[in-house]
Amino acid sequence: MSAKSFELLLQTAFAPENPHVFEGPATAVYQQLEQALRNSRTQGGKAAEEVGFRFERLRLGVAIALIKAYARLADNEGAKDVLHLLLEAVKAKNTREIDKIIQKKIGLFDNLYHEIFVNEEREHLLALFEQTLDATSKEELDDLILEGLEALQDIDFDAPQPDEDDDEPLDEDFLKSIQ
């Protein structure tokens, strides 16, 4: 897997706007995890802490890309709230701070599943998002980055999305006639 794939996932999820997820380039986040993994083979304790933090930042980046794409498709307030929470968490300086930020508003994740209505693309993005949150290795994140890229390439974000709130009420005379 490459840092470029991670960067492309973020760019595709945010298109046409520019993803301003990290202070530096997204590729650096991926490369920092790779470097921390290399360092952990030769060093002990402190290196493990660094690997954990770098892994969490990459995982947050993948989750942000997937939830951003979902928010673009669903126009779901819950998704927007989770996106803001993840964007806040990605600014944390260590894993404890990330956990503290997420735990403070953990209930926001429950709101993602409101207003889902039957939509295969939305369900797939949420499933990938859940898998990202459960991922425990760089290899799992690599697979999710590729699967996310593939899913985002198949989605036409410009296609009109069915707006469930705009359904016209059924004609009362018609309803009476079928009873």
Across the chain, how many H-helices and E-strands are there? 8, 0
14-48 exposure pattern, b = at least 16 Cβ within 10 A, e = fewer: beeeebebbeeebbebbebbeebeeebeeeeeebe
For each of the chain's 179 residues, which pLDDT tens digit applies?
A: 588 898 999 999 988 888 889 888 889 999 999 998 888 877 765 678 888 899 999 999 999 999 999 888 877 788 889 999 999 999 999 999 999 999 999 888 877 766 555 577 888 888 888 899 889 888 999 999 989 999 888 887 777 655 544 444 445 655 555 55
Q: Taking the complete model, does pTM exceed 0.85, yes or no? A: no
DSSP notation for 43-56: --HHHHHHHHHHHH
All residues at 6 or more sequence positions from 147 whose CB lies less than 8 Å from its CB, including other chains: 128
Max distance between CA atoms of the chain, in angstroms, equals 78
